[in-house]
Structure 1
Amino acid sequence: MTRTPLAHAFASPRRVIALVGLASLALIAGAWFFELVMLLRPCKLCLEQRVPHYAAIGLAAVALLLARSPRSQLVALAGLALLMAWSTGLGIYHSGVEWGWFAGPSDCGGAAAPVAAGMQDFMNQLQTTRVVSCTEAAWRFLGLSLAGWNALASLALLVAALVGLKSALRVAGGSPA
């Protein structure tokens, strides 16, 4: 039986670990691109959505370096699946806040401003600081905000991690893949 290229990619737990890690790296690079090049300032929820991807990059890197046994790859894939489930949930929550389906956090105002040196500096900061609201999507493509796209990408990575987990379970259990 001939495998499709997609089935071949998911047949190896190490490939799935690499895929999830590299995709998370690409998502973080995209977030930094929108922030630094497109000058879209992230809100508090935008920054929180990056955390599972940072963790996934680290976990995938460590797993690719150290996880040689099927059991250790199983643990790594389970961890990646949990991180992508967390990321999917954060993306859905933030999208729901933007659409008005959920109440956002009361302290959603973006990154903290630098400490003012004096009263005049403080007054200047008040006039020039733009608070980034979690309820307003700064950019949309095909009707979805960046939070929505993160939710979809994270869901796809969750599915990939679960497929890799299934493959790793077969290998760890001793049955043929």
Structure 2
Amino acid sequence: MTKNEEIARAIAFLLPAFLLLGALGSQYLGGLYPCEMCHWQRWPHYSAVLIAGATFFVPGRSLRASLVIIAGLLIGLSGLIGIAHAGVEYHWWNGFTACTTTVSMAGTTAAERLAAIMNAPMVRCDSPQWKLLGISLAGFNAIFSLAGAFTIFALMRKTR
């Protein structure tokens, strides 16, 4: 791989990994429970980490380059979902307000499940739990993901 491809591969692997670490850290250490749209933003990052990670093991420069581009597309997809989510949070458009739960329902009675649901924190997609300089976590995901995807594509374009 060329130097640009190596840099693009590193971004494709490290950016979603760090964004996921931040999201999971804010959830499990900071008590910021994710809404449904937060989870939607995570799935492309999980896939991007796996695909970009595979580039360290697969043979062939063209296959590795293709996988880096696919990871970049997934990172960009998460950024687009982040824009949609931020728009819902800032009330630019309507979105989903379904509640989510962090409570396991395995091995519980119907009454226990109902009590767990009624006592679970309701996480709305249109209400950001945290902001910095007026930007929510969804907004930061959109900014970093789209900037990262753009950088990956720019670096990969220079190698063609």
One fold, TM greater than 0.5? yes
Q: Pick from 20, 35, 41: which aligns with 1:43?
A: 35
Equivalent runs, 1:46-61 vs 2, <5 Å: 46-61=38-53
Identical amino acids, percent of aligned pairs: 26
Change (3 A) 1:32 1:126: closer
Change (3 A) 1:83 1:37: same
Larger Rg: 1
- C-alpha displacement at 1:113, in angstroms? 4.0
Instruction: Give ranges in structure 1 of 5+ residues lacking alignment.
Output: 1-9, 170-177
| Deviation per residue, 1:70-111 (Å, 9 max, x gap) | x223312321221122111100000001011122125x2224
Give 2:75's aligned amino acid: M
Q: CA RMSD in A?
A: 2.0
Change (3 A) 1:76 1:49: same
Change (3 A) 1:154 1:67: farther
Report the counterpart of residue 136 of structure 1 in structure 2.
127
Q: Pick from 136, 139, 154: which aligns with 1:145?
A: 136
Change (3 A) 1:166 1:126: closer
Report the counterpart of residue 121 of structure 1 in structure 2.
112
Report the counterpart of residue 10 of structure 2 in structure 1.
18
Distance 1:44 1:103 in 2: 14
| TM-score when normalising by structure 1 | 0.81
Q: Report SS of the residue matched to 1:131.
A: coil
Equivalent runs, 1:16-95 vs 2, <5 Å: 16-69=8-61, 71-95=62-86
Give 1:41's aligned amino acid: Y
Instruction: Give ranges in structure 2 of 5+ residues lacking alignment.
Output: none
| TM-score when normalising by structure 2 | 0.89
